[in-house]
Structure 1
Amino acid sequence: MIKMKKRLIGTGLVLATGILLSACGQSNTDTSTYSSTFSANPTTFNYLLDYYADNTAVITNLVDGLLENDSYGNLVPALAEDWSVSSDGLIYTYKLRKDAKWYTADGEEYASVKAQDFVTGIKYAADNKGQAMDLIQNSIKGLNDYVTGVTNDFSTVGVKALDDYTVEYTLTRPEPYWNSKTTNSILFPVNEEFLKSKDKDFGTLTPDSILYNGPYLLKDFTSKSSIEYVKNPHYYDHDKVTIEKVKLAYFDGSDQEMTIRNFESGAYSIAGVYPNSSNYAKTKEKYQDNIVYSLQDKTSWYFNFNVNRKTYNHTAKTTDEQKKSAQTAILNKNFRQAINFGIDRTAYSAQSNGEEAASKTLRNTLVPPTFVQVGDKTFGEVTASKLVNYGTEWSGINLADAQDAYFNKEKAQARFAEAKKELEAQGVTFPIHLDVPVDQTNKNAVSGMNSVKQTLETVLGSDNIVIDVQQLSTDDFG
């Protein structure tokens, strides 16, 4: 089975989506309220244990960390007013602002935000195996030993509250990018008393399951229906929060004309529009000055093999031999590389973003290729220079955004020819059947997966590989 995953940070070879067409600046005249849609349904508000963008997209409006990114991506103070770094690059000391408070969902003051809240947050995440622990586990001194059970003494971990408003992190090695990690929710604070009072209900999908120190309070969340925020009137930086209310309606993508209808009626302040929908040409003509491409998203989406599949609840495979052959094939390096070179990511993107914007969505690494600078080279350039270690066909790869670094029919066919020799020697029978699950209500996803099916079967031959698109209900897909 091939699944599609998303992460915020990581390394690897990816298919990224993030540029949408949107229409703005029209009907809704209530400038104090922002109204639009959401299509990724939150599954938890436990920001210390969860890592997925669907959930952090909500939390980042409600809870602040030490630092945050401004509109240009620069790191700026949030709960930390100031910070310093030791000369050896190992100790980061943050001075907290004294006017930051915790509030309930009703806007009642609960407590001041203290340095101990950051210590409590990391201990809770470590004790409960937070999904993003790999981001910090080997960065903070002593944390790996605590997580792996070498010690059960959390005082040996390099995060300390020096006083009520000073928190200190001691690292295992210098990390010039450490400050960027403080924007991740696993390093957010939590009030210990509140955490204990909620116990296992902390972060459940109700407004009162968390405390708030950010610009908004969550007033309502109804799964697959609505999300509503209101401005936190006591927020330390409240003067800069210009939108009083945010109202989001759930949109599953099944009716691609709905967003523009609601925009024109004044229900939405901004609306995604779909280049492949029947009304797009008319919409583009009418609103051409207000249709923009959004910036490339911080989230990367990518295909991933299920290399240890145990269940076959949704499959086109009819025999144990087909299951075994698929399992053996995806463990073969040449086979996996053939799939990678055989996916036309631009064609996939065009199913939702249209031909004109298709390449704009493409990212070839899980983080932007310009994420960090290594000497006089970008992260992408350094990574590309190392890819040749996978084989000569990986030389000369361009990892820049907005172009497909990987799709190459000749390389795909050459790798598959090698794979087939190796697999036939192992008794594998062809064609190899690969199941690809997709939410049947998501028209863009269905057409995208069918595009992948068509490309791979054309490039590699349907006598060699068959992509079985499994259209599942939303609940089964989730």
Structure 2
Amino acid sequence: MCVALAASTAFSVMACGGDKKPASNNNTSKGTSEESSASILKQIEGKEYDEASGIIYNAVLGDFKAAYDEAKKVTDNNDERYAKMAIAEAKMLESGIMCPTQGNGGNYRFTRVAPYSAPSVQWGLEEDKKYQYLVVDDKEFLKTDEVNEMKAKWAEDRGKGTFRDWEMKYLKDKGYKLKDELSITYSSDPKTWDCLGTSLQADTDPVLDTIDPLVGYNVENEMVGKLAESWEESDDHLTYTFHIRKGLKWVDNQQREVGDLTADDFVAGMQHMCDAKGGLESLISGVIKNAKGYIDGDIVDFNEVGVKAVDDYTLEYTLEEPVPYFLSMFGYSIFMPMNREYYTSKGGKFGQEYDNSSSDYKYGKTPEDIAYCGAFVIKSYTAKNSIVYEANKNYWDKKNQTVKKVNWRYTDGQDPTKLYKDAKSGTTDAVGLTQEIITMAKEDGRFDKYASTSNVDGTTFVAFYNLNRAIYHNSNNEKNLISPKSDEDKERTRAAMLNRHFRLALSYAFDRQTYRAQRAGDDLKATALKNLYTGWNLVYTENEVTVKINGKDVTFEAGTPYAKMVQAQLDADGFPVKAYDEKADDGNGSGVGYDGWYNVDNAKKELATAIEELGKEGVTVDADHPIYVDVATNSAVSYFKNQAMAYKKAIESATDKKVIVNVIETANFDDWGYSGYYCQKGDEMNYDMFDFSGWGPDYGDPSTFLDTLLPEYSGYMCKCLGIY
């Protein structure tokens, strides 16, 4: 998914276990090569930013990159590919560049939207499609037992093709009537309405219901045709041919027809996405033939790129090599169409002539400056107020459309009482239950009757560590979020952050359950905790597979989840983290729902090693000379500030205040965003630890996560590490 923004309320659109600890290890963490902070600092002294980024990357993530390169060479055996990617992920986790925190969901909520009335696949944007939502027209919410019964039935009936009809009958039998209007909240206005020219979830979310992909998923998560009525794959798995539905129209936001939807729209969309370089073009680099050459500027004729309109209704993609997960990529914005004539009418140009700063370039500037082919058009938009959608009268699947109007209502999350009152009154149709709302709901008797738990999705939020911090105020405004550190303290922190043991000490000291409890409450404090970057069950082996781990053959049986293979490498390296726990989920095994990182003893051991190593490099660390770690937060939303304070307390307690966390506050959401989320390069990142963002899967393969950590601007999330 586009880079996700820290979650706030259930059914709002974001700008995005147990108490067991991992077993104690007598030694500090092993399993990856290390280079001293002093050595790295000496190598990057006087170097240009990109060269310095490369030196730091190779020193810190060299083992990951080598293992990942080996994994990506495997294109003819998915199971071997998954296992080798799991080995690479283990090496990345062992590097200490991040500590996974949580996923989206796993929180209490009240809702009038029936569960699984939209797709729920982990990857892409299909799960956020709202046109088929079943929204009950009731002054109260769906009851807890009703939500749970519908969830259980979906799990039982998935794949039978019967759940949708069953759910509609179930709601009718319970006395509910359905309404065709949905009202939800959102917390960040888009910076652009061009979903092909951005990598931010805050930009794509408002547009995804207005445009459709070639293929997508039904409510039972089976792949179905959308704008394509059929498709074929060549025997060599290098060519995919799609047959576009005939008679489809593009309209503007006043529902006036602006053109026919044809195969060329997908060619135009992909070229524009590559020209705009919004941050996601790397997803097709090495996948679509010659896409990398065009993106890098080595190829200037887009006709050489492997996407071609054979005729008006036949579209052909040619790949560089077989890509087993290729079809799962189509639910994401990078493959969306764009009407060529409408784009050029708004001042858009292609190739070397592309210039979105031109005075006549209007495309994507407002909802009036895009064309629509999805279930909705945007009828009106008022910044920090509302976005109103109405049904597209020309939508190809309008006969199955249950929601005809959607109201997005802006909230900054500062007033939980208003959020709750709006949901109770029907002004909105769902509300996530913060601690303040839980208290109110228990007092008025609604909590026990209506509270349900939202599903945990595929997104992973992460605590990233800045390895090469270059700025100590926001890049867009030097007066915002200013670090209190002295120049000496800045250099000491910089040296510490380049020490692997110091980073691991921070990760092991991070009490993530207490951190999450500030939002979800004690009951659900572990529910959405994640213990690796990639979704623990994003893929499973289909067949038995044997790979070498530290020189020894290790065999994984068919049906092994990805996280279990990651754990095998971690265990072999003596790395004391539980990315997968056989005992989790009532003995079924899982990678979520427990804290597999937090261990104060391990934190102290890692810190002792870091202090010894830094001392040899001339950096003294003790209670009188602590390392200062800057963390930015939004003080206007109580649980964001409380999370930051919980982090501060955990780190300072576990390290005996040899590490001090500076919580730097702002009451402005955008100012917080410009500390990292809205930044485009690593040298704009204004923090030492960043917990404001995460990544969601774009397609069904571990590379959707691991590719984000590739060097030389290929990996979108590397900037969160202060490099590239």
User: Is the structural similarity TM-score above 0.5?
Assistant: yes
Q: Supply the distance in 1 between the matched residues of 2:570 and 2:262 (Cα, whole angstroms).
A: 45
Q: 1:100 aligns with which of 226, 244, 248?
A: 248
Instruction: Kindly tell me the number of residue pairs found equivalent between the two proteins.
Output: 472
Alignment of 1:308-387 (within 5 A): 308-313=468-473, 314-374=481-541, 375=543, 376=558, 377-387=560-570
Question: Equivalent residue for 1:61?
Answer: 209
* 2:655 alignment counterpart: 460
Q: Is the 8 A contact 2:343 2:363 kept in 1?
A: no
Alignment-mate amino acid for residue 644 of structure 2: M
Q: Which among 433, 445, 452 is matched to residue 292 of structure 1?
A: 452
Q: Is contact 1:440–1:474 with CA below 8 Å preserved after alignment?
A: no
Counterpart residue number, 1:16: 102
Structure 1, unmatched stretches of 5+, are: none
Change (3 A) 1:395 1:402: closer
Instruction: Give 1:305 deviation, angstroms.
Output: 2.0
Which runs of no fewer than 5 residues in structure 2 stay unpaired? 7-14, 17-84, 93-98, 113-137, 141-176, 349-355, 474-480, 544-557, 581-589, 674-724
Counterpart secondary structure, 1:321: helix
Deviations, residues 417-469 of structure 1 (Å, cap 9, x unaligned) = 1111111222224311111111221211111111111111111221x111111
Do the aligned partners of 2:442 and 2:448 also contact (CA within 8 Å) in 1? no
Structure 2: how far apart are the matches of 1:282 and 1:406? 36
Q: Are 1:428 and 2:428 an aligned pair? A: no
Distance 1:222 1:143, change over 3 A: same
Letter in 2 for 1:116: D
SS in structure 2 of the partner of residue 257 of structure 1: helix
Match 2:189 to one of 37, 41, 45: 41
Q: Cα offset for 1:346?
A: 1.6
1:348 partner SS: helix
Rounded to whole Å, the distance in 1 between the matches of 2:186 and 2:603 is 37
- Displacement of 1:396 in angstroms is 5.3
Local SS of the residue matching 1:385? helix
> Share of identical aligned residues, percent?
28
Shift, 1:316, TM fit: 4.1
Deviation at 1:367? Answer: 3.8
Letter in 1 for 2:424: E
* 1:299-338 deviation digits (Å, cap 9, x = unpaired): 3221212323222123443421100011111111111122
Q: Is structure 2 residue 363 aligned with structure 1 residue 213?
A: no
Higher strand share: 1
Length-normalised TM-score, structure 2: 0.62
1:404 aligns with 2:595: yes
Alpha-carbon distance in 2 for matches of 1:98, 1:118 = 15
Q: Which residue of 2 aligns with 1:87?
A: 235
Which of 103, 109, 114 pairs up with 2:262? 114
SS in 1 for 2:523: helix
Residues 113-132 of structure 1 aligned to structure 2 (within 5 Å):
113-132=261-280
- Tell which deviates more after alignment, 39-48 or 354-363: 39-48
CA distance in 2, matches of 1:37, 1:4: 16
Output the amino acid matched with 1:56: T
Q: Alpha-carbon deviations, 1:209-231, whole Å to 9, x = none?
A: 21111001111222221121111
Contact 2:103–2:529 (8 Å) recurs in 1: yes
Match of 2:528, as an amino acid? Answer: T
Residue 324 of structure 1 aligns to which amino acid in structure 2? E
Give the conservation status (yes or no) of the 8 Å contact 2:532–2:579.
no
**1:205–1:221 contact (8 Å) kept in structure 2:** no
Contact 1:44 / 1:203 at 8 angstroms: preserved in 2? no
What is the CA-CA distance between 1:41 and the residue it aligns to? 3.1
Q: Is the 8 A contact 1:5 1:303 kept in 2?
A: no
In 2 relative to 1, CA 280–460 (structure 1 residues): closer, same or farther, beyond 3 Å?
farther
Runs of 4+ deviating beyond 4 Å: 3-8, 10-13
Moved more, 310-319 or 243-252: 310-319
- Hey, what's the Cα distance between the residues in 1 that align with 2:608 and 2:629? 18
Pick closer, same or farther for the CA change 1:64–1:4 going to 2, 3 Å.
closer
